Amino acid sequence: MTETVRLTGRGRRRFRTGHPWIYADDLTGPRPGRGALVALEGPDGERLGWGLHSADSKIAVRAVSREEAEPDEAFWARRLDEAVALRACAGLLDPRGACRLLHGDADGFPGLVVDRYAGVLVLQSGAQASEELVPLAASGLPSRLADHVEVAAVVERSDASVRRLEDLPPRVGVLAGELPERVEVVEGDVAWTVDVLGGHKTGAYLDQRDNRARVAAECAGASVLDAFCYDGLFGLRAARAGAREVLCVDQSRDAGERLAAAAERNGVADRVRFERANATKALRELATAGRRFDVAVVDPPAFARNRRELPGAERGYRELARRALALVDEGGLLVMASCSHAVTPSAFVEILGRAAAEAGRRVFLEHLAGAGVDHPALLTLPESAYLKCAFLRVGGRA
C-alpha cells in the first residue's frame, strides 16, 4: 500500500514554488523506512501530489507529480515519451551521436540520469528515490528510440559517490543486450571511444557539446590550451577545426590514453599534445615559461558541492581565472566553466570580474552558456542549470 507523508506549513509553501525537493525538516509524522513512492499531503491533510522518498537523504522526497491520480505505468510512459521527443526535436538522436536522454528531476525522473552513446544506453541512479526507476527506464527507452537508433546494450553505472550518502552500494553492469567491445561515438567531426564502464560520470561530459562546437568555430589557425581536458574533446574539436597546436592537460592517465588514441584516429596527433599534470599548477608554470595561447579553455571539476563549500570554490575559480588570463594574448578567448550548482550564473560572472580586476586586464563577457538542451534546466529547479560556461574576450591592460 502506498504510504503518505505530511508536509509542514513551510514545506507546503516551498512545494508551491514548484521546486521538487522536499527536505526532511519540512516533513512531520511517520515516514517509510526506505525509498518508495509516497502520497504527499499538506499540514491540513489535503492531497498535494506524489513523490519518491529517500530515507537517508536530506532531500527526503522528490516530487514527481502535482496531480490527484497516483502515477501509474501510463504516467511514466508519458514522461519517457516527452523526454525522447525533446531530444528528437533537437536533432540529438543521430545513431552515431551521444546525448543525455533523462536529466534527473528536470525530466521528471528524480535522481536518474540516462546517457546514450550511439546504441548504448547508460543509466545512473543516485538516490533511493531513483532505484525503482532504473528497470522502468531500462525497459521503456529502447523501443521509444527504435525509429532513430537501435539499442544494442543497456548498461548501469550506478557507482557515483553520492550513493554512499544514501546507504546504497555501487552497481555496475550490463542490464540488457551485449556491450560492444568498443563504444564508438561521433561528436561534430571527431570520433572517439567512450569508456562507459570506467570513465567519469557515465563515460563522458556530454553537457559541454554545444560549447565545444562554439570554441571550435574560433580555432582555425589558433594555439589552444585545453585545461582539465578529460578525453580532450575541446582540444580535439579545436584541432579538427584547424588549430595549429593544442595542449591538453589533465591528471587522469586513462583520459590521456584515450585522447592520444582519438588524436591519432582523427588525424590530428601531430598538433595535439597531452600533458598529465595538475592543471592548476600547469597554468602557473606555463605563464612563468612565457607561453601564450589564442584560445584557452578551463573546465575544472565542481569546486562546491553545496553552499557551505562556496567560499573555497569562489577562491578556487578566481585563482584559476587569474592564472588563465595571464596565458591569453590581447584579442584572445578565455572559456571558463563551472559545474558547481551552488555557484549561480551571476555569482560566477562576479568571480570572473574580480579575477579580471586582479589580473589588471580588460575582459568582455561575449556569451554565457549553459549545458545543451538535452540537459534541460527546469525553471523551478535552479539546481538543474548547474553548468556555466563563460566566453570571455580578453583585452589589454585595464
Ligand X SMILES: C[S@@+](CC[C@H](N)C(=O)[O-])C[C@H]1O[C@@H](n2cnc3c(N)ncnc32)[C@H](O)[C@@H]1O
Catalytic residue numbers, as ranges: 339
User: What contacts 176, CB < 8 A, 6 or more positions away?
Assistant: 138, 139, 142, 153, 154
Task: Candidates 4, 8, 280, 344: give the one binding ligand X (CB under 6 A).
Answer: 280
Reference 137, options 95, 101, 86, 166; nearest CA is: 101
Residue 229 binds ligand X, judged by CB under 6 A: yes
Whether residue 158 contacts residue 134, with contact meaning beta carbons closer than 8 Å, is answered with: yes
Select from 110-118, 158-166, 230-238, 288-296 the region that touches ligand X (CB under 6 A): 230-238
Question: Which of 166, 250, 294, 314 lies at the binding interface for ligand X (CB under 6 A)?
Answer: 250
Give the interface segment with ligand X, choosing from 26-34, 170-178, 231-239, 365-373 (CB under 6 A). Answer: 231-239
Provide the 3-class DSSP secondary structure of residue 71: coil
Contact characters 18-37, ligand X, x per CB under 6 A:
--------------------
- The answer to whether 192 and 203 are in contact (CB under 8 A) is no
Minimal distance, residue 201 CB to ligand X, in Å: 9
Q: Provide the minimum distance between the beta carbon of 336 and ligand X in the complex, in angstroms, as a whole number.
A: 11
Q: Which three cell numbers stand for residue 1?
A: 500500500
Taking a C-beta distance cutoff of 8 angstroms, is the pair 222, 295 a contact? yes
344 binds ligand X, rule: CB under 6 A: no
Which three cell numbers, joined as nine digits, stand for 329? Answer: 594574448
By the rule CB under 6 A, 252 interacts with ligand X: yes
Is 233 a residue that touches ligand X (CB under 6 A)?
yes
Q: Which residue has the cell 552500494?
A: 169
Member of 156, 166, 294, 299 binding ligand X (CB under 6 A): 299
Where does 223-288 show beta strands of DSSP type E?
Answer: 223-227, 245-250, 272-276
Shortest Å distance, C-beta 354 to ligand X? 21
Residues that bind ligand X (CB under 6 A): 200, 205, 208, 228-231, 233-234, 250-252, 255, 278-280, 299-301, 339
